[in-house]
């Protein structure tokens, strides 16, 4: 199959590119890459000339024997482009109310769980606890319930927290461009929106009801947010739903398009692995070795992008990857509304690294890395 012009090529938007691609065909091309393809791709590292074919090779089974070389390259690129810093942040769940049914999520509509939406006073208390821990970048999350957590509710929460925090990001249901403009005015400077899966057939299987069923409306969220002036965008794929290597290919291409089209916007990528949650115990295994390959490949493909690794992963793994290619990490995370102040609600997923912010930062420093809690973003607001 001939690959079309790369994302970001004049006249091509990512949605058009995505419609022209076939997930299964890309999977086959990744599977069929050779060692010579991998060696050619590695020779392009750092040149700014990574092609679509090179990306396929770096994500292929043929690249696994080159993993140590890829890790060294990824580490070198990270130190050159990003230094020794790890940007710290923390999630703050506003609500676990949800009207969408997603087979992999603990907040799914059908799940009989303890639901809670925080009041503004409870939100401020959660924020105060995080602030006292040293956190200055906060990520606000909700389920997909447009009535219980309307746009104005999210904006009001952001406005209150923006008085204390240097950066307020949101990870909520997809919004219209005007809504993102409202968020910008309320002090929001970042958006995290994960496509979950770029496999259209899998997307239909795992999203059973609700607005989240609309694949393309979600796919175009970063475009609408960037057009509205949101200065930091994070995208990603949830590994374990479909073929992981192919998910990373599409995620990388999406990132390349965004970085070229919205060059004033800071772009980060995350590849969370599926974790046990309410109603989900049979979790597909994405092996550590393959996962490291995907993260290192991302750094080679996207030298200037941030790469995020959350507390879904264990202590040892997070410590190792922080020294190779990761630039943004959370610590002491709670994945339920009111979790920091001891309120009862069901978590979205189980975390693996349960160290406090202080304990995690001590580990970073012991490994020669410097946790950073603010990036002077207030001057950009």
pTM value surpassing 0.85: yes
Give the pair of three-digit tokens for residue 311.
């507390």
Taking only the tens place, the pLDDT of each residue in 171-226 is 999 999 999 999 999 999 999 999 999 999 999 999 999 989 999 999 999 999 99
pLDDT at 346: 82
Left, alpha or beta for 275 (phi > 0: left; psi -120 to 50: alpha)?
Answer: beta
Single out the residue of 253, 298, 297 nearest to residue 9, CA to CA. 253
Instruction: Tell me the average pLDDT of the chain.
Output: 93
Give the pair of three-digit tokens for residue 166.
């240097």
How many angstroms separate the CA atoms of 28 and 286, rounded? 18
How many angstroms separate the CA atoms of 58 and 154, rounded? 40
Q: Which CATH superfamily is domain 77-380 in?
A: Aldolase class I (3.20.20.70)
Taking only the tens place, the pLDDT of each residue in 110-141 is 988 899 999 999 999 999 999 999 999 999 99
Task: Express the helix, strand and coil content of the chain in percent, nearest 5 each.
Answer: 45, 15, 40
pLDDT at 376: 56
Give the pair of three-digit tokens for residue 151.
């746009």
Percentage of the chain surpassing pLDDT 70? 95
Domain chopping of the chain, boundaries: 77-380
Give the pair of three-digit tokens for residue 325.
């290619």
Taking only the tens place, the pLDDT of each residue in 72-110 is 999 999 999 999 999 999 999 999 999 999 999 989 999
């Amino acid at each position: 199959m001939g690959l079309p012009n790369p994302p970001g090529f004049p006249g091509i938007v990512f949605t058009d590119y995505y419609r022209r691609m076939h997930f299964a065909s890309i999977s086959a091309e990744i599977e069929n890459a050779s060692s010579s393809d991998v060696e050619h791709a590695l020779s392009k590292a750092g040149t700014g000339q990574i092609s679509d074919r090179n990306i396929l090779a770096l994500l292929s089974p043929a690249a696994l024997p080159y993993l140590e070389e890829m890790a060294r390259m990824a580490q070198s690129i990270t130190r050159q482009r990003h230094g020794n810093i790890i940007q710290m942040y923390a999630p703050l769940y506003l609500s676990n109310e949800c009207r969408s049914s997603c087979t992999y999520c603990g907040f799914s509509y059908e799940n009989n769980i303890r639901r809670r939406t925080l009041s503004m006073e409870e939100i401020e208390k959660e924020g105060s606890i995080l602030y006292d821990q040293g956190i200055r970048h906060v990520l606000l999350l909700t389920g997909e319930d447009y009535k219980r957590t309307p746009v104005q509710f999210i904006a009001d929460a952001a406005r209150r927290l923006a008085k204390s925090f240097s950066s307020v990001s949101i990870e909520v249901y997809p919004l219209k461009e005007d809504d993102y403009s409202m968020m910008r005015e309320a002090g929001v400077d970042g958006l995290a929106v994960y496509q979950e899966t770029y496999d259209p057939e899998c997307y239909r299987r795992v999203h059973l009801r609700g607005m989240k069923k609309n694949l393309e409306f979600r796919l175009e969220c970063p475009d609408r947010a960037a057009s509205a002036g949101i200065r930091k965008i994070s995208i990603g794929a949830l590994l374990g739903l479909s073929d992981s290597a192919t998910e990373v290919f599409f995620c990388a291409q999406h990132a390349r398009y965004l970085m070229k089209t919205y060059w004033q916007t800071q772009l980060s990528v995350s590849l969370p692995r599926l974790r046990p949650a309410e109603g989900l115990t049979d979790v597909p295994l994405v092996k550590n070795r393959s996962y490291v390959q995907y993260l290192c490949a991302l750094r080679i493909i996207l030298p200037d992008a941030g790469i995020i690794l959350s507390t879904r992963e264990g202590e040892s793994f997070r410590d190792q990857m922080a020294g190779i290619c990761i630039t943004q990490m959370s610590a002491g995370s709670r994945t339920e509304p009111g979790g920091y102040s001891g309120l009862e609600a069901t978590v979205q997923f189980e975390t693996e690294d349960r160290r406090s912010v202080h304990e995690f930062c001590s580990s970073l420093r012991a490994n020669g890395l410097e946790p950073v809690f603010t990036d002077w973003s207030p001057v950009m607001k």
